[in-house]
Structure 1
Amino acid sequence: MVLQRTIPALFPALFTAILVLGAAPPLHAQPPAHYWPEFPPAARMVVTADVDNLPKLFPEDPGGGFGAMMFTLQSLAGLMALEVRERNGDAYLWIDMDKNESWARWRDETLRLSGMARVDAPDPMALIREQAERGLVRGYILYRADTGERGMYEAPPGKGDEYNCSVNVATSLAAELGAVIVDERAESAFTALGLPRLKDARPLDEAWLLQGNDLSCSRSWIHLLDPKAPHMRDHAIASRSLCVFGVNDVTERALRRLDLNAPVFGWNGGDEYKATSQLSRTGHYNTASNWIFNLPPLASVPPVEDAPELNHHSRPEPLALDWDTESHFTAFVMSDGDNVQWSLGNFFDHRDYWRAPSRTTFPMGWTAPVFDLDQTAAPALAWLKRTASPNDYTLSFGAGYYYPDEYGADLPDRAAAVEARAAQFAERGNRLGVRVLILLSNDWDCEGAMAMYTAIARRMPRLAGILAIQYYPYNAGQGEAVWVENALGDPVPVLSARYGLWAGLSRAPLNGPPAKVANDINNSAAAARGKPAGRFDWTVVHAWSEFQPADTSKDILAEEVTEKKPKRGKDSFRGVEPVRWCVDRFAPGVRVVNPEELLWRYRLAVKPRETLRMLARELAEDTSLSQDLRAMARDWLAGLDARSFDTPEETGAALGELRRIRFGQSGKKQPL
């Protein structure tokens, strides 16, 4: 059953501060500011040979996407983008990945939408020589590769050779010195080009940067990059960013030097909770972007004007919903949509996700980094909008990955930090038509989390609601709801996940593989008959959990694939197909809807008076309606307080009256 809780008893002090700080601004006062680095248009886009064909520079060099040349090309791409950004340069560099269907699409869409001319440059050394001859590349910074046994993005220092982060020092200094970064084992190849060594970073570490050697680095953002990985170094150099790595004191000091609400690019190593907590408590948020190339040219594409609106096929109109008082309504929401690199990587072209055979056959909620894509990957956001079906619903994953309940906890004025975070993205969300957010906390209904929900709701007047998950388990709230108010005093639900489709987590209540989750939902539907609040719930779908077709008649957990239960046969699935297996098992009377429809139905059932007041007020202010119809809505509002909503029939009658004002005597929305 969905339980309810209200605000004031939970956190009077912080809530009062948010009320004072959180007056809602005009809905379209001015264009929202970018908080990702902005990159202007350019005349040309230079395209390298495919990344897999990049040459080895010394015998033990792996070559390709993780070789020494890739690190150097990333720095060259950063210098070229920096020139466009600061000195009217005319060319970006695109490091090609033609065999990756998604990145080949973004290359072609970037060229098509920007109008940049493509210039192929198959020889990377010739390209570096060319850029040196024209004065862009002044020399190189020498670094020592981190060759320890630690896996990529595991916590440093690891085993084996001594940990070395000098490549992050080199990356941090490259913009100021106009230098490419060079592995010490490849130095002779670059001296042969006539390039001078401008800095030897090998004996230096990230702590050295913070000893007054970071003055040229931006305070608007930071990059957390594993020294073993070349990705995102173009973006770091082009934005004059500081680069560090590891959950440690150096990173803590680096985060504290930033302006409030700075995006953290890349990803940190080791324990995910500790890494995300560290940046949340200092008032920042992660973008999950550590496996990305080519963001500067992609970010130079402005918003696509002819792209449809977000959820143009699937956005429900509350007054057009049928008044169903018998069905059990449930929704499914895919996790991990904060992940910018997934959206740009294989999300759209993977058979488990956007290209799944069963996608479009039932309503599905997709979390996505909507705010981030709008600023840095307009072609990808346009693609998402264009290819969505009427059964696809996109909700924004919180404008980054941070813990709302810990946000700004280590700062002197935490309430101001929370309000500033909401203010940073809310207006962009209003303009994009974002109606549902999902937020992940460590304690989803504590004082700190409630403060963030309140700050957001007060700045997003058309928010249908917020979906809440917890770090572990995602469905810790067990379908419970809390309520906050928007700036007009309308109650907005924060509805926690009741179920989790997650392999290997059946020990946690209401979690498990498709057969178990379907059984749990069917049981809840039977138990909730006659209980209005109990007829609405949702399942968070763990994007990376793996399942296989199986006979579950003897073992309801037989579908999950884990270390202890390895895959049998060839076929296993993540994402959409396991949701379909779940949906196919539902009992009659269980209706699958998208997340926004679920929230509106929940609001109408649980708080009918307040929800209908809001909808009637919107009718009274809707200038597309005639003056007579708006007057009817005002009259309806005037009589609202005298009405009873004790029974579903009374709510249905009131809803029908508003429908007739909105849609005419039939009370039905006409097809377009």
Structure 2
Amino acid sequence: MSFIKWSEFRKNLDTNNYIKNPITPTYLYVISQNIMTQAEAAMIATLQGIVNKQSSIQIYRLSSSQPDYQTWLDNLKEEYGISYENVSNPWHLLDVFKDYINGYVLYNNKSLKDPSINNACSLASLNNCIAIDEVIQDKTRIYGITKIIGDCRNTAESWAFDNLWNSGLNHSIVIQLSPDKSCALRDYGIMTKSLIFYEDKIDVTTLRDKIFSALDKDSICLGWGPDEFINVSTASKYGVSMVAADWSYNLTVLSSFPSLPLNQKTSVKIPTKKNVHHVTFIMSDGDNQQWDLGTNYGSHKWYGSPYKGKFNLGWSLSPSLYYLAPTVFKLYYESASHGSTNDYFIVPPSGNGYMYPSKFDKKSLSIYINRLNDYMEKVDEKYVSIIDDSSFHNNELWDRFTIKPNIHGLFYLDYHKHDNYHGEIIWSNNKPIVSCRDLLWDNIESEDELIKNISHRIDSGKVDINNSNSYTFVYVHAWSKDLSNIETVVNKLKENPKVAIVTPETFMKLIINNVKNKNQKART
């Protein structure tokens, strides 16, 4: 058994503030979530966090609701030579690895909102302990785990922060996780000694204010809150970005592999036809780490669709994947379509993690953008999608992004309605900021409506390569539309010789090369 000190973890922080496991597995015990009770699943998740940071023989979990984790496991075996065996009894794993455990911390799960599981995991992370629901305490003791390190039953949601924040928890990553999620992400929280917390009320941010303000500049919050806008706004105020990760598994295994530079496989050939309306489609929700890890890759609706490769399409992947699951990130790149049609990756909103740039702590923003610029060079991505709150015309803000050499342009989405700026293009440091013109989104804009809108632009003469109105950026809502819906639109549009479907990269290069930069001239 090989052990590693916490100080070694701190050395493993890289330019994006993610903590990686420094021990790569040589062998895996694989167990399914579906055969365990909630209490057993939490026990195994916390055991996984303890074991995987100390041993090359590690634990890996599967879930029927997250089928892509089998794909990542198969890839580890085929490409990296990692052998594994399936285990059907969680208590067998406890018996195998009990020598790694210093004891247990008690919690109860009588209510799905009871914060004691989060407090127990936070305390357990500091003591090499597992978290144990009181309903399995007696059985745990039968297996020789008899030392109780703490009892978090009947503690408040702020207990861990109030009592443990300066007792050894890391200050660059926190985990926001609802107590009803008994196992996802908890292994990573244990490994990284991260505070795990949840504030249940949407419009009450007292605890989040305390926690986010105590973090280092440009820190990461993994998980999710009770809402989107208030939660992300609160985090942004303190220079913290969100990564939707509250259904993520096995980060203690996947993060252990090196994050190496990658190149996209796309083939770039800039069209030369002058009288064409150019359209680019970008699929939403690439910032959602748990979707990238759990269901997107193999799904017939999305990245695994039989329609992938039949038309040019833009995708995004959470930068967290590059650091916390580099083998997964690499598989996405390797399986991208390329040739006559291409899959092209851009950075998801709003860079390293989901935040609103106009609300982001100004002192943290420079660090955030520098890390983003570094990341984009490593993964050969040139464009960033931005979600912000009514700030499209804030050139001073965008200048801070576009001054960086690896950021060639921005795709802007307004939070309240992504197409609020109707395809307008502005310029920053001679680089385009392109707003969303159309949304392929259930109950907002259907396939027929989108086809009609683009056709109307063409009929109105918007087919001049030098005219900014001859470019349409379409954002596709992943939860209500899929690649079959895009295929329907593309097939209809292809009937018109005055329309061209291009990748986001080609789209931006056409704009840069051909659209007169009125705004930049006026400013200079």
Aligned partners of 1:430 and 1:32: how far apart in 2?
15
Q: Aligned-pair distance for 1:210?
A: 2.7
DSSP 3-state at the match of 1:275 = helix
Q: Which moved more, 1:96-105 or 1:577-586?
A: 96-105
Which amino acid is the alignment partner of residue 33 of structure 2? V
1:114 touches 1:301 (CA, 8 Å); kept in 2?
A: no
Q: Shift of residue 249 of structure 1?
A: 0.8
| 1:350-386 deviations in Å (ceiling 9; x for gaps) | 11111222221111111221x2221111111111111
What is the CA deviation profile of residues 23-62 of structure 1, one whole-angstrom value per residue up to 9, with x for unaligned ones?
xxxxxxxx962421111133533323322222xxxxxxxx
- Choose which of 545, 569, 580 in structure 1 pairs with 2:487: 580
Residue in 2 that maps onto 1:522: 455
Q: 1:392: which partner in 2?
A: 343
The counterpart of 1:467, out of the listed 392, 405, 411, is: 411
Contact 2:35 2:88 in 1 (8 A): no
Shift, 1:219, TM fit: 0.2
Match of 1:598 among 507, 511, 514: 507
Aligned to 2:154: 203
| Cα distance change of structure 1 residues 589 and 425 upon mapping to structure 2, 3 Å threshold | same
Question: What is the Cα deviation at residue 70 of structure 1?
Answer: 0.2
The answer as to whether partners of 1:146 and 1:165 remain within 8 angstroms in 2 is: no
Query: Displacement of 1:313 after TM fit?
Result: 2.5
Pair 32,243 (structure 1): closer, same or farther in 2 beyond 3 Å: closer
1:324: how far off?
Answer: 2.1
The one-letter code sitting in structure 1 at the alignment partner of 2:132 is: V
Question: 1:221 and 2:192 equivalent?
Answer: no
Q: Residue type of the partner of 1:502?
A: W
Counterpart of 2:255 (choices 290, 295, 299) is 299
* CA–CA distance in structure 1, aligned partners of residues 484 and 315 of structure 2: 14
C-alpha spacing 1:114/1:216, structure 2 compared with 1 (3 Å): farther
The residue type equivalent to 1:309 in the other structure is N
Which residue identity lines up with residue 581 of structure 1 in the other structure?
T
- Deviation per CA, 1:193-220, whole angstroms, max 9, x where unpaired? 2322221100222322233422221101
8 A contact 2:115–2:157 mirrored in 1: yes
Cα shift at 1:538 = 1.0
**For residues 431 and 479 of structure 1, what CA distance do their matches in structure 2 show?**
30
Q: Find out whether 1:256 has 2:213 as its counterpart.
A: yes
> 2:345 is paired with a residue of what secondary structure?
strand
Structure-2 change in CA distance of 1:167 and 1:451 (3 Å): farther
Q: In structure 2, give the amino acid aligned to 1:544.
A: W
Where 1:352 maps in the other structure, the secondary structure is coil
Name structure 2 gaps, 5 residues minimum.
Answer: 1-12
- Residues 358, 108 of structure 1: alpha-carbon distance in 2 compared, 3 angstrom cutoff: closer
User: In structure 1, which of residues 210, 233, 236 is the aligned counterpart of residue 189 of structure 2?
Assistant: 236
1:355 aligns with 2:304: yes
1:309 Cα deviation (Å)? 1.6
Cα distance in 1, alignment partners of residues 106 and 459 from structure 2: 67
2:320 to 358, 362, 372: 372
3-state SS, counterpart of residue 287 of structure 2: coil
Distance 1:346 1:352 in 2: 10
For residues 535 and 372 of structure 1, the distance between their equivalents in structure 2, rounded to whole angstroms, comes to 35
Residues 1:189 and 2:132 are matched in the alignment: no
1:169 and 2:127 correspond: no
Question: Aligned match of 2:109 in 140, 145, 149?
Answer: 145
Counterpart code for 1:300: S
Partner of 1:500: 439
- Give 2:513's aligned amino acid: L
Q: Which of residues 423, 440, 444 in structure 2 aligns to 1:479?
A: 423
Distance in structure 1 (CA, Å) of the matches to 2:277 and 2:103:
66
Return the match for 1:94 from 45, 60, 63: 60
TM-score normalised over the length of structure 2: 0.89
| Offset, 1:387 | 1.0
Kept in 1: contact 2:260–2:378 (CA 8 A): no
Evaluate the alpha carbon distance shift between residue 469 and residue 175 of structure 1 in structure 2; reply closer, same or farther with a 3 A threshold: same
Aligned residue among 417, 431, 438 for 2:364 = 417
Size of the aligned set, in residue pairs, is 492
SS, match of residue 585 in structure 1: helix
Q: CA shift at 1:521, angstroms?
A: 0.8
- Alignment match, 2:263: 309
Structure 1 pair 425/200, CA: closer, same or farther in 2 (3 Å)?
same
Residue aligning to 1:272? 228
Query: Structure 1 206/99 Cα, relative in aligned 2: closer, same or farther at 3 Å?
Result: closer
Aligned to 2:5: none
Task: State the TM-score, normalizing by the size of structure 1.
Answer: 0.70
For the structure 1 residues 43 and 499, does the alpha-carbon distance in structure 2 shift closer, same or farther, using more than 3 Å as the test? Answer: closer
CA distance in 2, matches of 1:100, 1:529: 44
SS at match of 1:472: coil
Shift of 1:109: 2.0
Within 2, Cα distance between the matches of 1:346 and 1:374? 17
Computing the radius of gyration over CA atoms, which structure comes out larger, 1 or 2? 1
1:407 aligns with 2:360: yes
> What is the Cα deviation at residue 394 of structure 1?
1.2
CA distance in 2, matches of 1:500, 1:238: 40
CA RMSD of aligned residues (A): 2.3
Looking at structure 1, the residues matched to 244 and 513 of structure 2 have their Cα atoms a distance apart, in angstroms, of 36
Q: Distance in 1 between matches of 2:422 and 2:376?
A: 28
Is contact 1:98-1:104 (8 Å) kept?
A: no
Tell me which residue corresponds to 1:45.
Answer: 27
Q: 8 Å contact 2:120–2:131 — kept in the other structure?
A: yes
Judge conservation of contact 1:499–1:517 (CA < 8 Å) in 2.
yes
State the alpha-carbon separation in 2 of the partners of residues 119 and 355 from structure 1.
27
- Measure how far apart 1:609 and its partner are: 11
* Alpha-carbon contact 2:376-2:407 (below 8 Å) kept: no
Aligned residue number for residue 19 of structure 1: none
**Per-residue deviation, residues 117-145 of structure 1 (Å, max 9, x unmatched):** 4355443213213322x2x2121111111
Contact 2:308 2:483 in 1 (8 A): yes
Match of 1:644 in 2: none
Is the contact made by 1:113 and 1:301 (CA closer than 8 Å) also made in structure 2?
A: no
1:328 and 2:289 are equivalent in the alignment: no
Secondary structure in 1 aligned to 2:355? coil
| CA distance in 2 between partners of 1:499 and 1:43 (Å) | 46
1:13-28 alignment, distance < 5 Å: none
Check 1:43–1:337 CA distance in 2 against 1; reply closer, same or farther (3 A cut): closer
For residue 41 of structure 2, what is the aligned residue in structure 1? 70
Per the alignment, residue 655 of structure 1 pairs with none
Relative to structure 1, the CA distance from residue 121 to residue 452 in structure 2 (aligned partners, 3 Å threshold; closer, same or farther) is farther
Q: Could you tell me whether the CA contact under 8 Å between 2:280 and 2:474 is conserved in 1?
A: yes
2:317–2:347: 8 Å Cα contact kept in structure 1?
yes
Structure-2 separation of matches of 1:34 and 1:272: 23
Distance 1:357 1:46 in 2: 32
CA pair 325-105 structure 1, distance change in 2 beyond 3 A: same
Q: Alignment identity in percent?
A: 21
User: CA, structure 1 residues 112+453, in 2 after alignment: closer, same or farther (shift >3 Å)?
Assistant: farther
Does residue 107 (structure 1) correspond to residue 61 (structure 2)? The answer is no
Mapped partners of 1:433, 1:129: distance in 2:
45
Does the CA-based 8 Å contact 1:45-1:111 persist in structure 2? no
Of residues 120-129 and 512-521 in structure 1, the stretch that sits farther from structure 2 once superposed is 120-129
